[in-house]
Amino acid sequence: MASPPPHSRPGSYIDRHLLPAERILFRTRMHWARAVRALLWIVLGVFFYVIARLSSAVITQGLNDIARRSGLDLTGFSANFWRAIPLLLLAVALIEVLSAVGELVGLIGSELAITDQRILGKLPRSLLRGMILRKIDLPLNEIAQVMGSRAFLTPFNYGNVRLSKTDRRWLTLRDIPRPDEFQKQVELMLAPS
């Protein structure tokens, strides 16, 4: 029985879409720093949830005290407006948690490869923070230029790679581990033999 080729991950998008004679030269996925971002979204979500719960009790108590002291009827628009603030904070908390889920889906579902013929893979769209993965199938002969950049002031080796296509459009691959190495591999494939 033959062993699987190097870089093989049976069942992956890349392996299912490789052409018969195509070889993978470089394979990666989104950098794990996205998981740290997801954790941050969860912390923010919990923070907003706690603030919502606390503000709900404080606002209700405050409105009841004002009504009791002044004899005013606080069932109108103004009181309802102040009671809506905790609901808005809960909505923000929900958005933060959904953003975290999107970051994790983007991290887990991502994969990217440079083959001897094209760049192939799935990466999250910036919309919805990764809930939707876009498929990338870019032949190397459609790439005019490649530029890599590392994340600013970070100890981790990740960044973005921008590919200029021959039709003058750009494709930006975000949060790629080892962007310098990715850029070098693409440039080696683009160099005339």
**CATH class for the domain made up of 16-30+110-190:** mainly beta
Q: How confident is the model at residue 1, as a pLDDT?
A: 43
| Residue among 172, 164, 186 nearest 26 (CA) | 186
pLDDT digits (tens, 9 = 90+) for 125-139: 654 555 577 888 999
Q: What is the pTM of this model?
A: 0.69
Q: How confident is the model at residue 184, as a pLDDT?
A: 92
DSSP labels, 21-70: T--EEEEE---THHHHHHHHHHHHHHHHHHHHHHHHHHHHHHHHHHHHHH
For the chain, domain boundaries: 16-30+110-190, 37-105
